[in-house]
Amino acid sequence: MRYVIIGNSAAAVGCITGIRKVDKENEIVVISYEDRCYSKPMIADVLIDYPDEKLLYRDKDFFEKNNVTQILGHKAIKINPESKVVILDSNEMVPYDKLLISTGGVPFVPPIPGREKEGVFTFTELGSAKKFKKYIEENGVEKVVVIGSGFIGLEVAYYLREIGKEVIVVELLHRVLGKALDKRGSEIVETMLREKGVQFIFNNTVEEILGEEKVSSVKLKSGEVLKTEAVVIAIGVRPNVELAETARIEVNRGIVTDNHLRTNVPDIYAAGDCIECIDITDGTRKNLPLFPLAFEQGLIAGLNMAGKEITYLGGLPLNSLKFLEKPVLNAGIVEPPDSTYEVLVNDKFEKRGYYRKAILKDGKLVGFVAIGEIDRVGILTNVIRQKIDVSNIKERLVSLDFGLVDLPEEWRKEKLKEDKTAYKDWRPVG
């Protein structure tokens, strides 16, 4: 048996972990065009000279101890499922018995005229982050325009302010984190970033990037021209499915897998930002590009590749902003889609520095927002995963001292120990 993994991030690490829980001996090969296994959520820290070794997600020891062969600096360009080989950009052919595709996401870059100019960057890989850092240092950049106010864009803007740069965030929607956070949460985050010195322009977008060879300014849809020496495009990511398509693997919003993370092509599995999966809060299939979910999916895929039959029950959307003065955490549904949902709020942000919100459907917690005080919110994620009835304690969900003692005794004794969706451990189905 030879296991091959394409990709070298959270899903790959999860897959290695899963395989080695079952199979200690057979060969594992990891292919990646990048040169290390790093934590993607931390790449903005490059801007403040965060040590490289602290950006690592797993070091060489992890791969050596797990007897993993790494092929780094080479890109997989094609999969031939008939001959069961992966073809690299060096023309080398890597044979596999079981294959995991964990190619992640690629930045979405709209067709903005001038996007090819020097000084335009995306920010989803360590290499691009380092190139941006080098560019602003070598060119004496003082003004930067960030397109997009999602998690990546805001983190980049924050750290640019940390190193004293002038930053303007241009956002098409009317508020920050418009698709990820509720309205009040967005207001709080925007206020904290404005206090940091970040400027915002809402309900607008960049129509053209101006300059000769290098960026000198951007033209907005409103007609306004902003002087800038660099542009960061942080609109979002889309599943990287190009390689999967070479093997005629089914693709929808991402690579389509069954509940064992298998694709429609025999012996090929997929996990991470490149797939679509079930959102456990509403039961719909969607792309959930989140680092912890990628590890979970990789783990389940690895177990199944090694011969177990473990069902992946879906993922819980979970986001955090921990670099701000007050931490921000949200999970699941944060805005009720209709009147059948119940909303509970505890907003003491101005007076005591915290904000709590819970969303319920049919007596069950389906989402929450926590800002300022996030102790014990991990209990809330378990409550969502377990789908337990919290009708009798719903008012406690937004209290700062909410804890395990508030939960039904039966759940505390049994459900917490048998959480089948957190994937802290594995068990065969049935």
Asked if 354 and 184 count as a contact pair (C-beta separation under 8 A), the reply is: no
CA distance 120 to 123: 10
What does the pLDDT read at residue 425? 40
| Domain architecture of the chain: domains with CATH | 2-106+238-305 (3.50.50.60), 120-235 (3.50.50.60), 326-415 (3.30.390.30)
Half-sphere exposure of 25 (CA within 13 A, CB side): 1
pLDDT > 80? residue 423: no
Mean pLDDT of all residues belonging to the chain: 93
* Per-residue model confidence as pLDDT tens digits over 181-219: 999 999 999 999 999 999 999 999 999 999 999 999 999
Q: Which of these, 298, 239, 303, lies nearest to 9 by C-alpha position?
A: 298
What does the pLDDT read at residue 72? 97
Share of the chain above pLDDT 70, in %: 95
CA distance 303 to 259: 13
**Average pLDDT value for residue range 386-415:** 83
* Per-residue model confidence as pLDDT tens digits over 138-160: 999 999 999 999 999 999 999 99
What does the pLDDT read at residue 420? 47
pLDDT > 90? residue 430: no
* Per-residue model confidence as pLDDT tens digits over 286-320: 999 999 999 999 999 999 999 999 999 999 999 99
Backbone angles phi, psi at 138, to 5 degrees: -70, -25
pLDDT > 90? residue 426: no
pTM, 2 dp: 0.92
Confidence of residue 374 (pLDDT cuts 50, 70, 90): confident
Confidence of residue 322 (pLDDT cuts 50, 70, 90): confident
pLDDT top residue among 230 and 373: 230
pLDDT > 50? residue 428: no
What does the pLDDT read at residue 406? 83
Confidence of residue 421 (pLDDT cuts 50, 70, 90): very low
pLDDT > 50? residue 67: yes
One-letter-per-residue 3-state SS of the chain? CEEEEECCCHHHHHHHHHHHHHCCCCEEEEEECCCCCECHHHHHHHHHCCCHHHHECCCHHHHHHCCEEEEECCCEEEEECCCCEEEECCCCEEECCEEEECCCEEECCCCCCCCCCECEEECCCHHHHHHHHHHHHHCCCCEEEEECCCHHHHHHHHHHHHCCCEEEEECCCCCCCCCCCCHHHHHHHHHHHHHHCCEEECCCCEEEEECCCECCEEEECCCCEEECCEEEECCCEEECCHHHHHCCCCECCCECCCCCCECCCCCEEECCCCECEEECCCCCEECCCCHHHHHHHHHHHHHHHCCCCCCCCCECCEEEECCCCCCEEEEECCCCCCCCEEEEEEEEHHHHCEEEEEEEECCEEEEEEEECCCCCHHHHHHHHHHCCECHHHHHHHHCCCCCHHHCCHHHHHHHCCCCCCCCCCCCCCC
Burial of 350 (C-beta count, 10 Å sphere; 0-12/13-18/19+): exposed
What does the pLDDT read at residue 417? 52
What does the pLDDT read at residue 412? 67
Asked if 2 and 29 count as a contact pair (C-beta separation under 8 A), the reply is: yes
pLDDT > 60? residue 124: yes
Confidence of residue 388 (pLDDT cuts 50, 70, 90): confident
pLDDT > 50? residue 332: yes
Q: How large is the angle between the packed helices 10-22 and 291-305, nearest 10 degrees?
A: 30
pLDDT > 70? residue 261: yes
Asked if 86 and 76 count as a contact pair (C-beta separation under 8 A), the reply is: yes
What does the pLDDT read at residue 77? 98
pLDDT > 90? residue 407: no
Q: Which residues fall within 8 angstroms of residue 310, CB to CB, at 6 or more apart?
A: 260, 300, 303, 304, 426, 427, 428, 429
